């Protein structure tokens, strides 16, 4: 549902330039009475097809005239959808499945049936046409840990297919672009207080206006404190500030805009937990209460241990912690009657980022165990010879369940420099109006990835207590400490990696309007990629040999030996795209587009060739990297767009083929640690997407979309020591975590004073892994949002309520990715991540 008016469209038209985003000041300054008057006078349904699209183009056109698939969402849509996380916003877009079970950040985004382990692997996340990070795959952190939405976002544009995806950072799968409000001639803004169940409090504000002649500003930010949505004793707390300062050329031929952002935030991230194996509902813990999470705030000194580099103390209690920001300069200049224009962007960002990840089991057993089964599974004898005590005091009751689990401290600082420059030319040849773009993009990103895995033992409960275990030899009487202050395996895994990527791209495109009915776009892109890799070799070190009664897992720490494998990779790839649109009438368009493009393999997936026989493991020389080549994607789309007074709709057929894909999966290594497994795959998908906006009554609309898709493996090889090993059993299987059906549907009422929305998102059945052995049933998440606007002079106050997951479904959104094809059914427990529980939020929003 899009609530954009003619004034907003006119403002955008006046500021059209390649990725130069005009403000929606007219909308921001309207009073409730003016809004109601406009709505009453409106004859046509307001929909996506009437919105000017400016992402990745120098010919700003309404979506109806654009030969590619486009989805937009205005600020009201973003507020209604994004209560839980950004994933809920992206889930509303056709062809996208986004998992939000982990909480506010690190959404797992899947698009068009492409094989992904999650994050934003095929879809760059941009704000104001500027990529949050120029290269994905330096580590596995998702883009949304660095940058968040606020009330200063004017709208979202998601474009996929066609020439637009060749510009800037590029991605033929699609571009996610949030566009900020910028200042204008009059002061205005919005302030909001949000209160939700389980002690969530958030203050959000956005203001904009003039600073002087031709100088304008916009400033926005939020502070949030949250103890939910699941109680863990770990708090979510932090803030973000963003802003822009725009100087408009006196002759109105362009502008220069300075953007800035700073964030300091800590967020709890939820992983899969043991569920009831028969029903896959939440399982009861030792206290009889259903277990929602196995997180707790543990004293880091209890789970610390010695290393060759000194004592290690975990920072897992900080969750997903990000501190840092970015600064960017954007400019565009139109040279009048010459038809020439120039625009560009430069951005630098630097973030100190740590991703504390609670895992889903110990990597060996992975489910809760009785006291005896804990001993039996580890060859430790009988409970008659073992002591189980809680850390602090008290014996563990005999009938209790224990859960051995892990967490990973992941230190991931990063910095990124991007630059983009475009020369544009408008010219006419005969009846053809050309919009030519010759441009280039540069990206230079570096990220560390230091990982330490710790295994601990606790009871199976919400906010569990840690457990000690001591085993006595019945013959000698000697005692062995199996779990000390809850520590079960010190340093179960370690990695110290540094990855850098440098990208150089050039592109040329011509977007043509031929007469009044026909649009044709064509473009090419060539890009070179350089990557640098540094990975510390690991070894096992006896860190506490003076205490002989410790188990080997507490004495032998996997740690680095200061020897590094280093290497470089590089490759060059090209893309070509074309799109055509024919207007059957002023309200009906037929379109088609096709492209051949590429992705660069994630550099974290690049392996090293084995060391030569007889070479010392700590040798300074590296054996060299494995081969590195682009992943090739070919796709096509054909569809129809209709925009009528009482309804609008689109229908499109899709086809995608991806080859030479290096799929990276984060899986158990079989020894209690984790590893990044790489598969060399090819996939093929096809499907249909459709959207419908329908005016039912004067103030009541229906809005929905449907995606039907089929995605299959066409090649599957597991890389072992960089040698492909075919797995023909996977060929023809469905891609994991990719449903065949997705849909959104909702009713939306707005009379200018009272607004109410009741909408649902459905995700169909999907498999947890590539062997298709375990299927997750489809699920609906139903949400409700309503509010009433109270006029206060020329301003207004909206009193609102939002209910996420109205029916409190606990459907499973994913299995245990760490177990991959080893996950099974039929046991007492099934490890999976359910939908976040229902949450009611109240809002007071003051528009001024």
The per-residue pLDDT for 152 is 96
- Cα–Cα distance, 663 to 674 (Å, whole number): 16
- Cα–Cα distance, 184 to 332 (Å, whole number): 17
Q: At residue 705, does pLDDT exceed 80?
A: yes
pLDDT band at 5 (very low <50, low <70, confident <90, very high): very low
40-54 burial string, b = 16+ CB within 10 Å, else e? eeeeebbbbbbbbbb
Q: At residue 759, does pLDDT exceed 80?
A: yes
> Can you tell me the mean pLDDT for 171-184?
91
220-249 burial string, b = 16+ CB within 10 Å, else e? bbbbbebbbbbebebbbbbbbbbbbbbbbe
- 291 and 276 in contact (C-beta within 8 Å)? no
Burial class of residue 281, CB neighbours in 10 A (0-12, 13-18, 19+): middle
Side-chain half-sphere of 282: how many Cα atoms within 13 Å?
20
Q: At residue 723, does pLDDT exceed 80?
A: yes
- Cα–Cα distance, 509 to 423 (Å, whole number): 11
pLDDT single digits (tens) 401-430: 999 999 999 999 999 999 999 999 999 999
Q: At residue 354, does pLDDT exceed 60?
A: yes
- Cα–Cα distance, 76 to 733 (Å, whole number): 40
Outline where 3-157 has alpha helix (H).
6-14, 25-29, 32-41, 75-81, 86-90
- Cα–Cα distance, 618 to 553 (Å, whole number): 23
pLDDT single digits (tens) 83-131: 878 889 999 999 999 887 889 999 888 998 899 877 788 888 999 999 9
The per-residue pLDDT for 303 is 94
> Can you tell me the mean pLDDT for 194-204?
96
CA quadruple 542, 543, 547, 552: dihedral positive or negative?
negative
pLDDT band at 52 (very low <50, low <70, confident <90, very high): confident
List Cβ neighbours of 288 (8 Å cut-off, separation of 6 or more).
Answer: none
pLDDT single digits (tens) 609-643: 776 655 554 444 456 788 899 999 999 999 999 99
The fraction of the chain above a pLDDT of 90, given in percent, is 77
The per-residue pLDDT for 614 is 56
Cis peptide before 8 (omega within 30 of 0): no
Scanning the structure block, which residue is given the tokens 């139109």? 334
The per-residue pLDDT for 47 is 58
pLDDT single digits (tens) 295-323: 999 999 999 998 888 899 999 999 999 99
pLDDT band at 371 (very low <50, low <70, confident <90, very high): very high
Range in 615-629, 737-751, 762-776, 795-809 with the lowest mean pLDDT? 615-629
- 679 and 717 in contact (C-beta within 8 Å)? yes
**Residue 829 or 99, more confident:** 829
The per-residue pLDDT for 612 is 60
The per-residue pLDDT for 249 is 97
The per-residue pLDDT for 685 is 97
pLDDT single digits (tens) 439-451: 999 999 999 999 9
Given the DSSP bridges, would you call strands 467-472 and 839-847 parallel, antiparallel or unpaired? unpaired
pLDDT averaged over every residue in the chain: 90
Name the strand (E) or helix (H) holding 552: helix 552-555
- 156 and 1 in contact (C-beta within 8 Å)? no
Range in 232-246, 456-470, 555-569 with the lowest mean pLDDT? 555-569
Q: Which residues pair with 53 in a beta bridge?
A: 61
pLDDT band at 559 (very low <50, low <70, confident <90, very high): confident
Burial class of residue 760, CB neighbours in 10 A (0-12, 13-18, 19+): middle
CA quadruple 621, 626, 627, 633: dihedral positive or negative?
negative
List Cβ neighbours of 761 (8 Å cut-off, separation of 6 or more).
Answer: 88, 91, 92, 743, 744, 780, 781, 783
136-158 burial string, b = 16+ CB within 10 Å, else e? bbbbbbbbbbbbbbbbbbbbbbb
Q: At residue 541, does pLDDT exceed 90?
A: no
The per-residue pLDDT for 609 is 77
The per-residue pLDDT for 594 is 95
Burial class of residue 615, CB neighbours in 10 A (0-12, 13-18, 19+): exposed
pLDDT single digits (tens) 265-283: 999 999 999 999 999 999 9
Given the DSSP bridges, would you call strands 401-411 and 487-514 parallel, antiparallel or unpaired? unpaired
pLDDT single digits (tens) 658-689: 999 999 999 999 999 999 999 999 999 999 99
Q: Which residues pair with 480 in a beta bridge?
A: 471
Backbone angles phi, psi at 309, to 5 degrees: -95, 10
Q: At residue 521, does pLDDT exceed 80?
A: yes
Scanning the structure block, which residue is given the tokens 């506490």? 544
Range in 480-494, 513-527, 622-636, 732-746 with the lowest mean pLDDT? 622-636
Going through 696-771 in order, the beta strands assigned E by DSSP cover: 700-720, 723-726, 741-750, 754-763, 766-767
Q: Give the gyration radius of the chain's Cα atoms.
A: 28
- Cα–Cα distance, 722 to 677 (Å, whole number): 11
The per-residue pLDDT for 48 is 63
The per-residue pLDDT for 615 is 54
């Amino acid at each position: 549902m899009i609530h954009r008016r003619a004034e907003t469209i006119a403002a955008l038209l006046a500021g059209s330039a390649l990725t130069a985003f005009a403000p929606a000041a007219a909308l921001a300054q309207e009073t409730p009475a003016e809004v109601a008057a406009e709505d009453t006078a409106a004859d046509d349904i307001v929909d996506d097809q009437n919105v000017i699209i400016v992402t990745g183009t120098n010919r700003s056109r309404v979506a109806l005239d654009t030969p590619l698939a486009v989805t937009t969402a205005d600020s009201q849509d973003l507020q209604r959808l994004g209560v839980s996380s950004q994933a809920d916003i992206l889930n509303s877009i056709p062809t996208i499945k986004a998992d939000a079970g982990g909480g506010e950040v690190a959404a797992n985004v899947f698009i068009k049936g492409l094989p992904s382990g999650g994050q934003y692997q095929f879809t760059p996340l941009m704000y104001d046409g500027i990529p949050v990070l120029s290269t994905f795959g330096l580590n596995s952190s998702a883009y949304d840990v660095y940058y968040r939405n606020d009330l200063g976002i004017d709208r979202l544009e998601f474009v996929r297919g066609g020439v637009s995806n060749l510009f800037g950072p590029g991605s033929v799968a699609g571009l996610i672009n949030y566009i900020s409000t910028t200042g204008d001639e009059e002061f205005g803004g919005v302030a909001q207080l949000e209160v939700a169940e389980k002690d969530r409090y958030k203050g959000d504000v956005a203001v904009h206006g003039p600073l002087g002649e031709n100088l304008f500003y916009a400033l926005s930010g939020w502070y949030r404190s949250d103890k939910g949505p699941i109680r863990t004793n770990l708090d979510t707390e932090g803030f973000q500030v963003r802003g822009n300062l725009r100087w408009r050329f006196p002759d109105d031929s362009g502008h220069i805009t300075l953007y800035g952002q700073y964030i300091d935030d800590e967020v709890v991230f939820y992983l899969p937990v043991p569920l009831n194996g028969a029903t896959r509902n939440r399982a009861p813990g030792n206290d009889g209460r259903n277990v929602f999470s196995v997180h707790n705030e543990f004293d880091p000194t209890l789970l610390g241990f010695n290393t060759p580099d000194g004592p290690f103390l975990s920072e897992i209690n900080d969750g997903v912690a990000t501190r840092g920001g970015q600064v960017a300069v954007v400019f565009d200049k139109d040279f009048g009657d010459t038809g020439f224009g120039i625009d560009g962007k430069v951005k630098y960002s630097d973030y100190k980022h740590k991703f504390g990840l609670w895992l889903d089991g110990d990597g060996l057993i992975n489910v809760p165990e009785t006291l005896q089964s804990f001993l039996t599974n580890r060859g430790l004898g009988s409970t008659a010879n073992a002591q189980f005590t809680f850390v602090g005091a008290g014996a563990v009751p005999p009938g209790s369940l224990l859960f051995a689990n892990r967490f990973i401290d992941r230190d991931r600082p990063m910095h990124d420099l991007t630059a983009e420059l475009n020369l544009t030319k408008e010219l006419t040849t005969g009846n053809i109006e050309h919009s030519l773009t010759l441009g280039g993009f540069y990206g230079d990103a570096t990220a560390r990835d230091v990982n330490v895995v710790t295994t601990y033992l606790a009871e199976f409960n919400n906010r569990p207590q840690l457990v000690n275990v001591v085993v006595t030899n019945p013959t000698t009487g000697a005692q062995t400490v199996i779990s000390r202050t809850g520590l079960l395996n010190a340093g179960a895994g370690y990695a110290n990696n540094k990855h850098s990527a440098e990208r150089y791209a050039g592109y040329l495109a011509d977007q043509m309007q031929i007469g009044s009915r026909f649009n044709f776009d064509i473009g090419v892109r060539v890009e070179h990629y350089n990557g640098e890799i540094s990975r510390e070799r690991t070894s096992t070190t006896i860190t506490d040999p003076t205490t002989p009664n410790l188990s080997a897992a507490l004495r032998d720490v996997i740690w680095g030996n200061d020897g590094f494998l280093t290497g470089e990779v590089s490759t060059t790839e090209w893309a070509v795209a074309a799109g055509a649109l024919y207007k059957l009438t002023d309200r009906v368009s037929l379109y088609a587009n096709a492209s051949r493009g590429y992705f660069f393999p994630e550099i974290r997936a690049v392996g090293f060739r084995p060391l030569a026989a007889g070479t010392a493991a700590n040798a300074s020389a590296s054996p060299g990297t494995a081969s590195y080549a682009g992943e090739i994607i070919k796709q096509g789309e054909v569809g129809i767009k209709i925009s009528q007074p009482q309804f609008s709709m689109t229908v499109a057929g899709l086809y995608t083929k991806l080859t030479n894909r290096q799929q990276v999966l984060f899986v158990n290594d079989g020894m209690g640690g984790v590893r990044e497994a790489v598969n060399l795959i090819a996939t093929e998908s096809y499907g249909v997407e459709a959207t419908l906006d329908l005016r039912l009554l004067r103030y009541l609309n229906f809005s929905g979309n449907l995606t039907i898709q089929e995605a299959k493996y066409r090649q599957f090889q597991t890389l072992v020591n960089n040698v492909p090993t075919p797995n023909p059993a996977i060929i023809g299987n469905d891609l994991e975590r990719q449903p065949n059906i997705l849909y959104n549907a909702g009713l939306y009422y707005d009379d200018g004073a009272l607004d109410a929305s009741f909408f649902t998102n459905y995700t169909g059945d999907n498999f947890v892994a590539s062997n298709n052995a375990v299927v997750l049933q489809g699920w609906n998440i139903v949400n409700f949002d309503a509010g009433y606007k109270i006029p206060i002079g020329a301003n207004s106050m909206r009193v609102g309520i939002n209910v996420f997951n109205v029916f409190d479904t606990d459907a499973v959104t994913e299995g245990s990715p760490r177990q991959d094809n080893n996950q099974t059914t039929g046991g007492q427990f099934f490890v999976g991540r359910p939908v976040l529980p229902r949450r009611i939020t109240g809002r007071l929003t003051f528009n001024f």
